[in-house]
Chain A
């Protein structure tokens, strides 16, 4: 099977090369495949190599992020700290993840660049006086050459050496990081709030339902959660807005700044995930309560409350924890819609504006920030899972 498998693998790779080559040019196709090979290659690193590469990757990432945020000095410091922390304490699995992250982000940036360059239209096409000389000058000024590869090179160099995400092409005189800096905490706050809401309420509802399956309250809460999953969030948001803001006047319609303005966007964003968490928690609870060790605990005479809290809870929470990664990613993207609906000045609006205006640097910048957030969060979730389930811990 492996012989055949390898042949098939080769065939797939060749096919991908040809297909991509047609789409984006041979050089780019090769670059993508190389990047991907690097990515896939992280699976075969020996534990020692993983330790080295993991620590280095952590340091590199820390450096770049800190540099953009706070300058080269801080960047170097963060890099050193992360290096030692990773070298000493992190488990091989975590380090493997971190190693995967670096080429992953680079590849993401590259593919995004390619996609943007191959989309019709370019940032300068809409300028009124678009003579070739002016366009060339503009291109040189913004560092947006004709080819995707060159742009990518310039971008990366600028990121690592200057610690900047580049100037925004459409928003005059502003760098991408200056645009994103105020927006980032807003999006993160909204996202975290929504996530906490979704997790806590979802868990409560789900566990309660799971403890009394097929009861009326079970059907009721699962029914409501299903509704939460079946309506696009902007519909719910609009409905909430209409009821609470327009009709009842309890909450402000839109905007950002006060606590009351947090309420509706957060709820709207959280609802579908709350519903899903509730279902996961319910399923997990039902499954745990059917386990033999619950019967043992009962046979020991442990009271039912203690059984739920001490024995069953972990098993019920685990599927929810696994889901937190995708949930965070989903909340992040769901924020595009919610931010638009409630006029929240977060990162989502920059991404959409940038995409529509072909503002390459802005799009790339937002993409990278989002992707980093999601992957770091996934890492944290992995750690949490290992902490909760001792069986996973000792396997690594």
Chain B
């Protein structure tokens, strides 16, 4: 491709906002795009198929226990004869919801906390971060189990406490990250400009700082969802989790493992879907992180 310098020298570089550049980088990352598509697909399946196909995850059929996959039962049946396909999809709904709601909680609390700490700096920041340090020092599952116990045993199937507990544990990382970002952004000129124009603290925080932190927040939020889902599955395994989630299904499958017969479908489908979703989310999160901060590549 030959060009005379005359034609290249005058050509200016079209202005590209950082968001646009990040978006383009993201789109070039095949893993991330595929990941996003897969997650969307799984979510769509879990939330629409049961209603569309009239699936029933709850009715037991004692005669049809432990049937391998077939045309009638796509994923086979479980120890109580329930259709496993329906159960896995229903479980997906729960797990995905847990991930979503807990992450939203975590984002809201973490961003507010971190923004305030980072913005005010000084004493306020020190105190707030001490609290974070203290909570950080407590192994997280510990905290979750203890919080879980705050809510009665009969309520153990109720999802709300689990969401709250899980979200509350993850906000620490988010708060730290946001605080760091705000601290470095605070000294930049556009903040000074806004304040000179008379903007109050709250306004500066909300209108100027938060949008700039959004990129980082999105990255970590995308990476929090898989963490939360795995945490919930741990709880299910220990008997403290939600009634019907992927984690619950997997722990039930593990419980019936015996040397004689291996009901492979009981383990494969929920853990396969779990792994697929989490893997996709992780690739998406990674892709977001690379798109927003390319030097981490």
Contacts and interface: CB of A to CB of B under 8 A. Distances in A.
Interface stretch (B10-18, B83-91, B122-130): B122-130
B274 A235 contact: yes
Interface string A199-219: 000000000000001000000
A43 to B, nearest CB: 5
A336 B149 contact: no
B137 A374 contact: yes
A227 B120 CA distance: 40
B257 A226 contact: no
B92 interface: no
A34 interface: no
A120 B148 CA distance: 11
A50 B262 CA distance: 60
A1 B120 contact: yes
A334 B133 CA distance: 20
A370 B142 contact: yes
Contacts, number: 153
A8 B124 contact: yes
A341 B255 CA distance: 9
Contacts of A370: 139, 142
Interface string B277-293: 01101110010000000
Contacts of A149: none
A235 B130 CA distance: 36
Given A329-B139, A352-B238, A39 B149 contact: no
A232 B274 contact: yes
Contacts of A287: 295
Interface in B112-155: 116, 120-124, 126-127, 130-131, 133-134, 136-142, 145-147, 149-153
Given A2-B123, A232-B230, A371 B254 contact: no
Contacts of A286: 297
Contacts of A48: none
B120 A333 contact: no
Interface string B225-268: 01000100110011100000001001101100101001000010
B150 A333 contact: no
B275 interface: yes
Contacts of A337: 234, 237-238
A115 B262 CA distance: 41
Contacts of A39: 130, 134
B227 to A, nearest CB: 9
Interface string B73-112: 0000000000000000000000000000000000000000
Contacts of B237: 232, 234, 337, 340-341
Given A40-B127, A104-B134, A333-B140, A227 B297 contact: no
Contacts of B59: none
Interface residues of A, number: 61
A325 B120 CA distance: 28
Contact of B120 (A5, A121, A351, A374): A5
A93 interface: no
Contact of B250 (A121, A234, A246, A330): A234
B228 to A, nearest CB: 12
A6 interface: yes
Given A116-B149, A241-B257, A337-B238, A107 B271 contact: no
B116 A6 contact: no
Interface string A137-169: 000000000000000000000000000000000
Interface string B176-212: 0000000000000000000000000100000000000
B123 A9 contact: yes
A304 to B, nearest CB: 22
A291 B68 CA distance: 57
Q: Which of A5, A287, A332 has the most CB of B within 10 A?
A: A5
Contact of A8 (B120, B239, B267, B274): B120
B152 A36 contact: no
Contacts of A263: none
A302 interface: no
A99 interface: no
Kindly list the 6 A-B residue pairs having the minimum CB-CB distance in the complex, ordered from nearest.
A230-B278, A333-B141, A120-B152, A5-B120, A119-B149, A333-B139
